Amino acid sequence: MEVFPESLRGRLSSFMSNKLYQLHNTNLVTFLSNVVELCEPDSVYLVEGTREDLEYVKRKALENGEEIPLRNRNHTVHFDHPLDQARAREDTFILGGKIPFVNTRPREEGLKEVLGILKGSMKNREMLVGFYSLGPVNSRHRILAVQVTDSAYVIHSEMMLYRSAFWEFSGNVDFLRFVHSRGTQDIKRRRIAIDLGGTVYSVNTTYAGNSVGLKKLALRLTLNMAVNGGWLSEHMAIIGIDGERTHYVTASFPSGSGKTSTSMLGKLISDDLAFIRNVDGKARAWNPEAGVFGIIHGINPKDDPIIWEVLHKDDEVIFSNVLLKPDGTVYWDGSGEPEPEKGVNFTGEWWKGKRDGEGKPVPASHPNARFTVRLTSFRNLDPRYEDPEGVEVEAMIFGVKDYNTLVPIAEAFDWAHGVVTMGASMESARTSAVLGKSDEMEFNPMALLDFISVSLGKYLRNYLDFGRRLSKSPRIYGANYFLKGEKGFLNSKEDKRVWLRWIAERLEDKAGSILTPIGYIPRYDDLRRLFSHVLGKDYSRESYEAQFTIRLKAYKEKFKRIKDIYMSVDDTPAEVIEILDKQLLEIDKYMREFGDRVTPSQLESS
Ligand code: OXD
Ligand code: MN
């Protein structure tokens, strides 16, 4: 490499130029020069990830008003535009041909538009460049990524959420590319354009789910890489649950339906994302991230003691879209603290009783308000999160928010049954993490529908094959923390501890099960023992019968809906339809014998 193109050289300090030069990475220089020519920043700052860099980025975020300091000097608050409080489904698209369920735009047209909006977007601003590794830096499976942005908040978040890896970019290594500009915050011109070749462009948005490239934008790229490479890139937590020994399980839940709280019940490896590979016949999992960008609504000291502690000690926290109180601390709904009279929130000045233009009450904090923290702040962090070979996955949980149908916990008959009837059949009440109405039931296979970047058929083919190639495939569990009876929720929040312990005991062949048409459910005696042992609670036979009655008719309707969906997808593997048909036949058989519902005691005695 001779000299850098003038466009880039003229914007770098000699210190930065020298650093970049030492990498000898022509791919990187070409990429950065192109972005500079497009976005026209005043200057470029390369963020290696040192203490000084962190101080610099934090100072920038405060100076340009992206973050506001709080009374605790390690805490800040960030606000996103009132119309930019969640992932923007409508404005996010893959560049390329049509894929069912996926928002796509013709490549040339979509690219031209987003590049047009990005043109000159960084004038009078500094362009920050972050260098990261998805996964442990020393892992042979790590994936390198570069974030370019004019937002110090984005880089500050990434410095907490990802592993910095500047010097790993040495030589002509390749990397994923994320180009972001706050733009003018003209929400009508918000665009998030995903080029599966390895680049994502994002503009006129600051909400981290749309702007922090390495999180949900990278997921579209890595999912595509995984499907083509025979591994899995999933929207899953990874946790170690204790029985006689630690068992690692993954947990896939749509945003806002129990994933973060579940990951706090065990040894924490990941709260949101997992890369899973076949290593010598075993499924092994890594967390591509090194921090948590979690929903803060409802976090309270009783139900979430670990997160509460993280948010109240002296470690670094970026709060977003909570209420900033006049005393320089923050408040969020569901914290159990009294609602303040006034403060500042995502709509500006806020007071109790404030209404928006349409007369609707404005909550003190947004339902999708968040916290950004490092994994190392959690006392339940498992040091193996840095294991370059990942942890072995023994079980996978697919969980949904379903008020009417699914039992709290069930075990699949086998890999393919679990993948199809539990993972691929997920339907869940809509989350506040995407813009739009909450609580509508949505088809959301593997909690991934928002992030899928290939056709569902191809995705499922890879999933089924992945398990088959393992010498021992993980067991699969379906979970639902939200089942209701006539008088409301049938379970309390802490019951999930029991379900996890039951899974551990299943893996150790200690707990039994009852065969049902939809999988195996726990036996009453085991649960009574576990409720007493884990929660110190008496577990009544009535509670058990109510929670584990199989609502055959509702299950049947659900699987019919799911089958219709998969029938409409061209490339659904025949096996998926066969398994759904078999599932439906099995339910029919029980319906002929028992009617619309069958209780565990009927099943036990039949
Ligand atoms: C997230 C999400 O932020 O899924 O994790 O929305
Ligand atoms: Mn998520």
How would DSSP label each residue in 64-89? Answer: TTSSEE-SSTTEEEE---TT-SSB-S
**Range name among 147-151, 246-250, 429-433, 597-601 with the lowest pLDDT average:** 429-433
Contacts of 411 (CB under 8 A, 6+ apart): 475, 476, 477, 503, 506, 513, 519, 520, 521
> Looking at the predicted structure, is the pLDDT value of residue 580 above 60?
yes
Question: What does the pLDDT read at residue 435?
Answer: 64
Q: What is the pLDDT of residue 437?
A: 60
CATH number of 232-290+383-605: 3.90.228.20
- Say yes or no to pLDDT of 502 above 80: yes
DSSP lists the bridge partners of residue 234 as 274
Q: Which atom of ligand 1 is nearest to the CA of 209?
A: 3
Structure confidence by residue, pLDDT tens digits, 310-324: 999 999 999 999 999
Angle of helix 26-39 relative to helix 14-23, nearest 10 degrees?
A: 140
CATH pick for 6-68+82-229 out of 3.40.50.1010, 3.40.449.10, 2.30.42.10, 2.60.40.10? 3.40.449.10
Q: What residues sit around ligand 2, an ion, with C-beta below 5 angstroms?
A: 255, 272
Instruction: For 510-538, write each residue's pLDDT tens digit.
Output: 999 999 999 999 999 999 999 999 999 99
Q: 235 CA distance to ligand 2 centroid (A)?
A: 6
pLDDT of residue 441: 83
Determine whether the shortest distance from the Cβ of 531 to ligand 1 is under 6 A.
no
The C-alpha atoms of residue 505 and residue 507 are separated, in whole angstroms, by 5
Q: Percent of the chain, pLDDT > 70?
A: 98
Distance CA 203, CA 201 (A): 7
Which residue is listed with tokens 């860099």?
53
Mean pLDDT over each residue of the chain, to the nearest integer: 96
Under 8 Å between Cβ of 220 and 94: yes
Pairing of strands 92-95, 191-195: parallel
Sign of CA dihedral 185, 190, 194, 199: negative
CB of 272 within 6 A of ligand 1: the answer is: yes
Running DSSP on this structure, what letter comes out for residue 491? S
Atom of ligand 1 nearest to the CA of 447: 4
Region at 436 (left for phi over 0; alpha for psi -120 to 50; beta for the rest): left
Q: What share of the chain is helix, strand, coil (3-state, %, to 5)?
A: 35, 25, 40
Choosing among 3.40.50.10860, 2.30.30.60, 2.170.8.10, 1.20.120.1200, the CATH entry for 293-377 is 2.170.8.10
Q: What is the pLDDT of residue 134?
A: 98
In angstroms, the first-to-last Cα distance of the chain is 76
Domain residue spans of the chain: 6-68+82-229, 232-290+383-605, 293-377
- Tell me the per-residue pLDDT of 386-425, one tens digit each, with 9 for 90 and over: 999 999 999 999 999 999 999 999 999 999 999 999 999 9
Whether 213 and 231 have beta carbons less than 8 Å apart is answered as no
pLDDT of amino acid 577: 98
In the set 121, 151, 257, 473, the catalytic residue is 257
Please name the residue whose Cα sits nearest to atom 4 of ligand 1.
Answer: 255
Residue-wise pLDDT for 364-376, tens only, equals 999 999 999 999 9
Q: Report CA Rg, the chain.
A: 24
Assess whether 257 carries a catalytic annotation. yes
For residue 1, pLDDT over 60 is answered with no
Main-chain phi, psi angles of 183, to 5 degrees? 60, -140
Residue whose CA is closest, atom 1 of ligand 1?
255
* Nearest atom, ligand 1, residue 434 CA: 6
Instruction: Indicate whether this model's pTM tops 0.85.
Output: yes
Q: Torsion angle of alpha carbons 391, 451, 442, 86, nearest 10°?
A: 100
Q: Give φ, ψ of 66 to 5 degrees.
A: -75, -25
